[in-house]
Structure 1
Amino acid sequence: MLSVYKDSVKIDDYTIEIFCGDSVPDSSVIWLHTFPGEAEEIWERLSGISTLLAVTGNDWNRQFSPWPASKAFRQGEDFGGGAPDYLKYFLETLLPGAEEKLPFEPKVRGLAGYSMAGLFAVYAMYNTSVFNRIACMSGSLWFDNWKEYALTHSPVPENLAVYLSLGSKEHKTKDQRMSQVKTITEELAVYWGKSCRVTYETVPGGHFTNVAQRIAWGITQIEKM
């Protein structure tokens, strides 16, 4: 999609890239946490999306994990459990700081993410009503005690719609934690489907297969839901 309007905002250590298509006053806004350099490619793959706001600059293991947990990889870092603090900062600082640049007032907001950012997206729907469209692609739903938390709490937003996708090979790993991702994602899709609209898809490949394409597709789906 070609941008009718494009801008960027620098707030503290974060950059928010703003991509607008042919926006109208009742347009939805999709927020995405991603890595530097990825947003442009994702935007170009979108169709039917009016506005994308892409945040970069995050410490993924610290800010997207709902509580502390041991590291997933030998050479990695432990998870810091910073999602509660980051969500507060995101809602109070980043979101209004970027949305004031928009040429319209958003009426519907979505939140999208891949991997740990996907986990953060579904975590957010339990802790704020701001986003009622959630896209979680290859979400790290294997995260320690996440399933138990999700099954014993209720999402907050009204008229909620959730899109989930997972690579067909992602559960085929010797790592005991990550090997649970397929079972947990499917179980939560059923659970969330009892109270909101849920679309769950299995796509070919592993965790790092066609990432930009899968993010763009997921965003497109929640725009339609």
Structure 2
Amino acid sequence: MTLSRNKEFNWEGIQVRVSLPSTYDSKQAYPVVLLNDGELDYLSDLSQSVILVGLIPENRLDDFTPWQASALKEGGSDFGGRLDRYHQKLFQGILTTLQKDYLIDESRIAYGGYSLGGLAAVYSLYSSYLPLSCIFSICGSFWYPDFIDFCRGHDLIQSQSLIYLQNGQTEGANHSNRLSKAPIFARNIHDLISEAVPSTYSTFDAYGHHEALEQRYHHFCDWLREEWNLK
């Protein structure tokens, strides 16, 4: 299902795409889902109940990473570590603009993504931005250098959020670098966050990193629909 784009704008290098329910009523408050990388079609199961917002940065290797790190393989691009700046733009600029344009149910705002987009969302659990009611990560890149040590050494601030963590048991297969241990890194993060927030939804499926995207997003949509009592 290809969703309509009801509004599209650029906020300081972040392309923002907004998809409204087909029966959108400007007098009704709607939940919002903020999705890193902006692949909103994967969230089509929610399209008639929530406002979907896709976020596409100019350089995801910079904007979705919390600190600088070298490329995983020779000839690859380094990671820029500008996630704090990205989140400042998102939560203090883009979200504020959306709240002016649409009637948003502020008790139901979800933020998350896939791969590095999921890593970025989980990092926000440890920052003092606006309280978010849901953080979700699908195949989060928890292999990122020093991320586990960061989580162990910092308090989880957004402890009142619903948290959804999904990774694959065979992520990193056929890699010889730290990606080969991706499921181990992911398990450590799942356990660490679940210990801090016992209500965390944590699951591992049988797939690799780039497999079954539609199925994985469908599973998340079912979970969020139940948690938020969406029709």
* Counterpart contact for 1:11–1:97, Cα < 8 Å: no
Q: How does 1:70-149 map to 2 (within 5 A)?
A: 70-127=70-127, 128-149=129-150
1:30 partner amino acid: V
The higher-RCO structure (CA 8 Å, 6+ apart) is 1
Runs of 5+ unmatched residues, structure 2: none
Query: For each residue in 1:128-161, what CA deviation from the matched residue of structure 2 results, as whole angstroms up to 9, or x when unmatched?
Result: 3432311111111000010011112122124222
- Find the counterpart in structure 1 of residue 160 from structure 2: 159
CA distance in 1, matches of 2:45, 2:58: 23
Runs of 5+ unmatched residues, structure 1: none
* Counterpart contact for 1:136–1:218, Cα < 8 Å: no
Question: Would the alpha carbon gap of residues 224 and 153 (structure 1) be closer, same or farther in structure 2, given more than 3 Å must change?
Answer: farther
Q: Percent identity?
A: 19
- Find the counterpart in structure 1 of residue 34 from structure 2: 31
Question: Would the alpha carbon gap of residues 152 and 129 (structure 1) be closer, same or farther in structure 2, given more than 3 Å must change?
Answer: farther
Q: TM-score, normalised by structure 2?
A: 0.83
Q: 2:202 aligns with which of 179, 200, 203?
A: 200
Question: Would the alpha carbon gap of residues 46 and 27 (structure 1) be closer, same or farther in structure 2, given more than 3 Å must change?
Answer: closer
Question: Would the alpha carbon gap of residues 68 and 163 (structure 1) be closer, same or farther in structure 2, given more than 3 Å must change?
Answer: same
Partner SS, residue 173 of structure 1? coil
Aligned-pair distance for 1:118? Answer: 0.6
CA distance in 2, matches of 1:112, 1:6: 21
Question: What is the RMSD computed on CA atoms of the aligned residues?
Answer: 2.7
Partner SS, residue 100 of structure 1? helix
The farther-off stretch of 5-14 and 204-213 is 5-14
2:34 partner amino acid: W
2:174 partner amino acid: T
Partner SS, residue 120 of structure 1? helix
CA distance in 1, matches of 2:69, 2:226: 35
Aligned-pair distance for 1:5? Answer: 9.0
Runs of 4+ in 1 over 4 A off after TM superposition: 1-5, 22-26
Partner SS, residue 15 of structure 1? strand
Q: How does 1:30-69 map to 2 (within 5 A)?
A: 30-35=33-38, 38-39=39-40, 41-46=41-46, 49-69=49-69
The farther-off stretch of 122-131 and 99-108 is 99-108
Q: TM-score, normalised by structure 1?
A: 0.85
